[in-house]
Each structure stands twice: as structure tokens, then as C-alpha cells.
């Protein structure tokens, strides 16, 4: 719980300059980022054990703690912040905003570094490119409550994620 206490959804507003003739117009665009507020170390050693995909024969559905429906992983994978945010947005758009609640159970807190294209080997580790979350088979990804469209939301989210996912409900 300590890791989740120091993490939140960071939002950033970019101001774009759009050239319309001789006038520049400011347009505010919303760019949500799932990333930790602060980390103990800027860069991270990726463990080979955590990178290898694992597909078990049978995965039992995890219990629901917060809401009525849930989506859980059937395979092990590294989910990026963009994939998690895309799944969350799809879920919110499918079930609507009235009388609904969505709780993410995975958070991308592991930084992944990348060197720019055309840079030679050596000269240290690259800069942080994006954040990932290691999701094991059987881990709950998201829990949600809604009046209707629970199965349709599950289908829409399953297309956005790079793994097979399962659906669980309290009913």
C-alpha cells in the first residue's frame, strides 16, 4: 500500500500553437500520464524472470474487493502506461459516466530506458522512455461498477490489451 500511496495519475496540459494565417492560437490539449510521482531510483534493472511470458494451463479468477465486475489477466505480461490508460478510457466510454466507478488494480511504476536511434554503444544507460507494470496471470487489472453494458465493456477492453483477459462478477 505504501507504493500506491506515493503514486497518482499525473495530468499534464500541453499548449499547442496553431498557425491560422498570421495569427497563432493557443489550444489546450489534455495528455494523461500514468506514472509514479517519485521513485527511489531513476532507472531500474529489469529482471529476466519478470520479462519472460508465462501462460499457465488454468487460472482461477481473483476475488473482487471494491466493485461489482472485474477484468483479470490470463497470461503474464508487461503492460505499458499507454496500454493501461487506453483500456481505462475505453472502459469509461463504454459504460458511461453516470452511476459508474472504475478502480485500476495495476500501476506502471517500473521505468524502462531507451537510447535514441543512431547513438553508438556505450556512454551509459539511456534516459527513461516509459513506465511499465508486471502483470502475472490471475492478477486483477481493473474493477468497475455499472448499471448496464458490463459484458460489452469487457469485450471492448479485451481488444485494447495485448493479452487474454477474463471476466468476473459478484453475481
Comparing 17 with 38, the larger pLDDT belongs to 38
What is the reported pLDDT for 5? 39
Q: pLDDT exceeding 70 applies to what percent of the chain?
A: 76
What is the reported pLDDT for 15? 44
Comparing 11 with 66, the larger pLDDT belongs to 66
What is the reported pLDDT for 2? 38
Backbone dihedral region for residue 21 (phi beyond 0: left; psi -120 to 50: alpha; all else: beta): left
Name the residue with cell 500514468.
34
Q: Cα separation of 117 and 72, whole Å? A: 36
What is the reported pLDDT for 48? 60
In this structure, are residues 142 and 68 in contact, taking their beta carbons and an 8 Å threshold? no
Q: Cα separation of 37 and 78, whole Å? A: 20
What is the reported pLDDT for 36? 85
Render pLDDT for 55-96 as a digit per residue (tens, 0 to 9).
777 888 899 999 999 999 999 889 999 999 999 999 999 998
Q: What is the mean pLDDT of residues 38-66?
A: 78
What is the reported pLDDT for 70? 95
Q: How confident is the model at residue 32 (pLDDT cuts 50, 70, 90)?
A: low
Q: What is the mean pLDDT of residues 136-165?
A: 92
Question: Minimal CA–CA distance to 131: which of 44, 72, 52, 47?
Answer: 44
Average pLDDT, the chain: 80
Amino acid at each position: 500500500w505504501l507504493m500506491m500511496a506515493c503514486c497518482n495519475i499525473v495530468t499534464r496540459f500541453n499548449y499547442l500553437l496553431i498557425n491560422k494565417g498570421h495569427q497563432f492560437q493557443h489550444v489546450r490539449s489534455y495528455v494523461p500520464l500514468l506514472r509514479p510521482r517519485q521513485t527511489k531510483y531513476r532507472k531500474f534493472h529489469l529482471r529476466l524472470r519478470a520479462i519472460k511470458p508465462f501462460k499457465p494451463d488454468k487460472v482461477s479468477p481473483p476475488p473482487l474487493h471494491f466493485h461489482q465486475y472485474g477484468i483479470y489477466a490470463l497470461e503474464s505480461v508487461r503492460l505499458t502506461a499507454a496500454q493501461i490508460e487506453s483500456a481505462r478510457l475505453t472502459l469509461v466510454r463504454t459504460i458511461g459516466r453516470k452511476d459508474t466507478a472504475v478502480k485500476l488494480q495495476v500501476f506502471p511504476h517500473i521505468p524502462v530506458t531507451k537510447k535514441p536511434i543512431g547513438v553508438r554503444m556505450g556512454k551509459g544507460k539511456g534516459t527513461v522512455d516509459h513506465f511499465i507494470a508486471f502483470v502475472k496471470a490471475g492478477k486483477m487489472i481493473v474493477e468497475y461498477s455499472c448499471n448496464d453494458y458490463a459484458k460489452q465493456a469487457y469485450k471492448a477492453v479485451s481488444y485494447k490489451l495485448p493479452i487474454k483477459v477474463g471476466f468476473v462478477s459478484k453475481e
